[in-house]
Amino acid sequence: MITSLNIHYTSKVDLYNAKTLLANHPSNQILIQVFSGQVTPAAIETLLNDLRTVFPNVPILGTTTGGEILNEQVLEYSIVINISLFEHTTVRTLLVDNNDDLTATGEAIGDGLKTFQPAALILFGCGLKNRRTIDATSLLSTIYEKLPQTIIAGAQAGDNGKGENTLVFTEAGMTDSGVAAAALSGEKLIVNNRYNLSWVPIGKKMTITKVDGARVYSIDNCPPYTLYSHYLGQEVADGLPLSAADFPLIIERNGIPMAIHAIGVNDDGSFEYIHSFQPGEQLQFGFCHAGLLALGAQETFNSLRTEPVQAAFIYSCVSRKWILGEDIKVEIAPIATLAPTAGFFAYGEYFTFPRNECLFFSQTMTVLTLAETEASSAPIDRVALLSDHDSKQLKTLRVLHRLVETSAREIESINAKLAELANKDSLTELSNRRHLDERLEHEFYRAVRSVGPISLIMLDVDCFKLFNDTYGHVEGDNCLRSLAGVLKVIIHRPIDVVARYGGEEFICVLPATCFNGAMLIAEKIRAGVENLSIAHRSSIVVNFVTVSVGVITVEQGLEDMSPEYLIKLCDEQLYQAKSRGRNQVAGIAL
């Protein structure tokens, strides 16, 4: 059984009431969590001294906040203390003073607690570095790799929205550039966690087109500012980056939707985000309202009410509090009906998907519950979070949301079909010259980064002008369609590009293909066209249609070349094939 006590701390006197409760209880089976809206080092030092005096040798885990949670109440600039007494669980704390290398910090925490075999690990990390929010992804993934059986929870310290300095601490001391951890170990400890995003995607899907880590230069080939002003209006654009929190970008990673908002606007027009992106990732704008919040809170409450809960801790994003105001209580109040509840509003949240991964969230509410019994808890009635009026409003909003989403999907489908048509050669249905140029540039620079080979094949129909003069342009078009059919059958990897380059010339781009492989494919193409046996009595080669083929493979030195130069080299090999008598393949590897 866990005994959980919450204290609204104003002075040392507030601690004495709990002193009797802790008397004769093993100190290593107690955890004191502190959520402080007083964010100066002096205030934290005074608080720590009081706690260490009244509760000597008791493990302490604390953080500065952007707001405090005391049962169903949301407070500001106050100090909330939770004291958890365990019967069968041992507590160990650790303070690592290093956020310059979060991977090394994660290794230190994981290695330091591995033999302890924690069932739960609560982390409070310093939330800021150089006045920017820290991305804790590498910290969490490293710890999870070291402790894969542990549920990791917690969040990053706040400073009441000042964006200047955050502090975390244990009984050993405090730091403004590190991580504080409390590990809970015990075979009878029952740990559960849930999260509630509530932000939902709306509108068209957009694509990250130029990015360097968390610095985004373009989305849909537009500067981020242009995109925000176009879709959200000038008022939102003028309020960036703060206004971006109201409309975060929603991205799905490994099937998990995440909200990511801008935290900085650079002089060159690029935006800094709280997470990193990859080129090609798709996202949408998100929105939230009280109805969605209530719906998510209902689901969270109903999933937790079936589990034993003796202590509950909420680690939620400060953005939710700023944006939703008083409505934020809708998702906190139900949790407080399950057990004594405490927590804080943070600059990013930590959440573990058991046997999967631990993620760094933003704009999300996370809940950690603890218990020390396997006996079923007394049934808890469902909590009605919405009035009849609110339910009607929510129904209307759902219909509107469905209307916008359905319209957006239909427009997206139409645009995709139009884009496909714009990229195709109308005669052969292969890629056209414009699409070839785009894909070749993309694959060329990918080959430069991966230091991998890239091959090009260029082919030309032998004596095609004479074919048109003899049989007419309609038969000439039919001939090119038949040749395109051969190319489609032979070259079918998704990463390959087959395009009509112009007239009777075709180009194939083969990423990650060695010279021997490219030459083999080129010979298959030559033989495949020959096997079509399309009559060509005017040919100076043979009396049926043939092609000449040039091949170029570059395995090193790509960084000194360009896509245009590769085409030039391949054209030279095509010329060699023609000069040697046509209906053959010529190639070179560099």
Q: Are 520 and 585 in contact (CB under 8 A)?
A: no
Whether residue 475 is contained in a domain is answered as: yes
Task: Compute φ and ψ for 123, nearest 5 degrees.
Answer: -115, 135
Helices 464-471, 473-490: crossing angle, 10 deg rounding: 130
Residue 125 located in a structural domain: yes
Res 337: pLDDT: 92
Secondary structure (3-state) at 237? helix
CA torsion 51→55→57→60, rounded to 10°? -50
- Is the domain of 163 the same as that of 214? no
E strand or H helix at 578, and its extent?
A: helix 563-579
CB 54 within 8 A of CB 81: no
Task: Tell which of 282, 307, 324 closes a domain.
Answer: 282
**Pair 341, 250 in one domain:** no
Instruction: Give residue-wise pLDDT tens across range 516-568.
Output: 999 999 999 999 999 999 999 999 999 999 999 999 999 888 888 999 999 99
Give Cβ neighbours of residue 250 (< 8 Å, ≥ 6 apart).
Answer: 199, 200, 201, 257, 258, 259, 260, 283, 284, 285, 286
Average pLDDT of the residues in 376-385: 49
* Residue 218 pLDDT level (bands cut at 50, 70, 90): very high
pLDDT given at position 415 = 67
Asked whether residue 216 carries a pLDDT value surpassing 50, the answer given is: yes
What local confidence, expressed as pLDDT, does residue 550 receive? 97
397 within domain boundaries: no
Residue 572 burial (C-beta neighbours within 10 Å; 0-12, 13-18, 19+): middle
Q: Tell me which residue has tokens 């004596």.
A: 463
3 state DSSP class of 153: strand
439 φ, ψ to 5°?
-70, -40
Q: How far apart are the first and last CA of the chain?
A: 72
Q: Is 115 exposed, middle or buried (0-12, 13-18, 19+ CB in 10 A)?
A: exposed
Provide the b/e sequence for 535-544 (b: ≥16 CB within 10 Å).
Answer: ebeebebeeb
pLDDT at residue 375 is higher than 50: no
Identify the pLDDT of residue 411. Answer: 65
Residue 486's closest CA among 428, 563, 571? 428
Check pLDDT > 90 for residue 390. Answer: no
Same domain? For 57 and 89 the reply is yes
Query: Model confidence at 27, in pLDDT bands (50, 70, 90)?
Result: very high
Contacts of 6 (CB under 8 A, 6+ apart): 70, 71, 80, 81, 82, 340, 341, 342
Dihedrals phi, psi of 356, to nearest 5 degrees: -140, -75
pLDDT at 267 exceeding the cut of 90: no
Q: Residue length, the chain?
A: 590
Assigned token pair, 155: 């969040």
- Do 323 and 452 have their domain in common? no
Do 296 and 278 belong to one domain? no
Q: pTM here?
A: 0.70
Average pLDDT over residues 184-212: 91
Question: Are 11 and 115 members of one domain?
Answer: yes
Q: Is 362 found in the same domain as 278?
A: no
Helices (H) and strands (E) in the chain, counts: 15, 32
The CATH number assigned to the domain holding 499 equals 3.30.70.270
Q: In terms of domains, do 192 and 214 share one? A: no
Domain boundary among 328, 356, 371: 371
Mean pLDDT value across the chain = 90
Q: Does residue 394 carry a pLDDT above 70?
A: no
Where does residue 213 fall: left (phi above 0), alpha (psi -120 to 50 degrees), or beta otherwise?
left
Residues 181, 259 within the same domain: no
Give the domain-ending residue among 236, 260, 282. 282
Q: How many CA atoms lie within 13 A of 264 on its CB side?
A: 16
| Domain identity same for 38 and 159 | yes
CB atoms within 10 A of CB 419: 11
Find the mean pLDDT for residues 494-520. 95
Q: Of 102-106, 142-146, 379-383, 435-439, where does mean pLDDT reach its minimum?
A: 379-383
Structure confidence at residue 532 (pLDDT): 96
Residue owning tokens 């760094």: 360
Non-local (6+) Cβ contacts of 441 within 8 A are: 563
Give the CA radius of gyration of the chain: 32
Decide if 354 is inside a domain: yes
Task: Assign 151 a pLDDT band (cuts: 50, 70, 90).
Answer: very high
Position 428 in a domain: no
Tokens standing for residue 71: 């049962």
* Domain extent at residue 268: 205-282
Q: Which of 99, 181, 194 is nearest to 146 (CA)?
A: 181
Choose the catalytic residue: 68, 331, 349, 504. 504
Position 422 in a domain: no
In a 3-state reduction of DSSP, which class is residue 403?
Answer: helix
Is residue 91 predicted with pLDDT exceeding 90? yes
Which has more confidence, 179 or 265?
179
Per the structure block, which two tokens stand in for 560? 């000194």
- Residue 387 above 50 pLDDT? yes
Report the alpha-carbon distance of residue 21 to residue 305 in Å, rounded.
Answer: 27
pLDDT band at 382 (very low <50, low <70, confident <90, very high): very low
**Residue 504 a catalytic site member:** yes
The pLDDT, as a whole number, for residue 70 is 97
Residue-level pLDDT at 288? 80
Q: pLDDT category, 376, cuts 50, 70, 90?
A: very low
> In the chain, pLDDT over 70 holds for what percent of residues?
93
Instruction: Name the nearest CA neighbour of 35 among 73, 59, 70.
Output: 70
> What distance in Å separates the CA atoms of residue 66 and residue 524, rounded to the nearest whole number?
66
Q: Is residue 492 part of a domain?
A: yes
In a domain, 131, yes or no: yes
pLDDT for residue 3: 94
Q: What is the pLDDT of residue 405?
A: 62
User: Considering Cα of 302, then 307, then 308, then 314, what sign does the dihedral take?
Assistant: negative
Does 514 share its domain with 467? yes
521 touches 508 (CB < 8 A)? yes
The total number of structural domains in the chain stands at 3
As a three-state string, the secondary structure of 279-318 is CCCEEEEEECCHHHHHHHHHHHHHHHCCCCCCEEEEEEEH
Query: Quick one: 155 and 23 in the same domain?
Result: yes
